[in-house]
Amino acid sequence: MFHFVLRTVIIFSIACYSSLKLYILLSHLMSHGGFGISNTLIDYCATLGRKGLNEAPMALLSRIGVSLDSDLLDRFDKFIAEKGYDNRSEAFRDLIRDRLVGSAVVTSKASVVGTVTLIYDHHTRLLPEKLADLQHEHHEVVISTLHAHLDHHTCLEVVLLRGKSHNVQQLADKLISTKGVRHGRLVMSSPDTVSPHRHSHH
């Protein structure tokens, strides 16, 4: 009985990220009979609990099993090696985040950030002025613009946007469809969807 109760308490304590909770629960058990719990164990848990108060709680991690065809797994391992991942877990997390973001940004009222990349011939009549006018008309979603000269005729322009998904998409469509733009692409992400994490690769 004691081992079952102690094991349950320890599991509960880990789930709550605090050895201090384990100390409190063990103390409570001792006051109701003790189940043979020693004062040494109580003191040890108290020490861990006090230490835990000064430390930020770790993110709760869940372990899952995934069944894959051997050929698919081999191709995945080669892919993540080329991308510089140290392990499969971080690669899986990035793939999941990417799908979650992809689903979030299509919601018209979602808060998003995005970049519109444009390649165009700056000799096209009034094209630079038209692109600038569009950005002024939607100044509430335009954060900044990067402009680079690729050669004598070709310019690269990257427009950084932030706002509701439908507003960002609307401006991007207008910029990309402007006559004279050779190629354009919008890439959006949702800060609210992506949890903070660290990469070991660049």
The per-residue pLDDT for 194 is 64
Q: Has residue 12 got a pLDDT over 50?
A: no
CB count in 10 Å sphere of residue 114:
22
Q: Has residue 16 got a pLDDT over 60?
A: no
Over residues 190-198, the mean pLDDT reads 65
The per-residue pLDDT for 19 is 47
Over residues 141-164, the mean pLDDT reads 95
Cα angle 14, 95, 83 (rounded to 5 degrees) comes to 110
Going 22 to 27 to 32 to 37, the CA torsion angle's sign is positive
**Beta-carbon contacts of residue 175 (< 8 Å; ≥ 6 apart):** 116, 118, 131, 134, 135, 159, 181, 184
The per-residue pLDDT for 56 is 44
Would you give the end-to-end CA distance of the chain in angstroms? 52
Residue 41 and residue 5 in contact, taking contact as beta carbons nearer than 8 Å: no
Q: Find where tokens 């002024």 sit.
A: 136
The per-residue pLDDT for 197 is 53
The CATH number fitting domain 106-189, selected from 3.40.50.2300, 3.30.70.1150, 3.40.50.720, 3.40.640.10? 3.30.70.1150
pLDDT in tens, 19-64: 444 445 445 545 555 544 455 544 554 555 555 444 445 568 888 8
Q: Where are the domains of the chain?
A: 2-53, 70-104, 106-189
Mean pLDDT, the chain, integer: 77
The per-residue pLDDT for 26 is 47
pLDDT in tens, 66-101: 888 999 999 999 999 999 999 999 998 888 888 888
What are the beta bridge partners of residue 156?
119, 148
pTM for the full model? 0.56
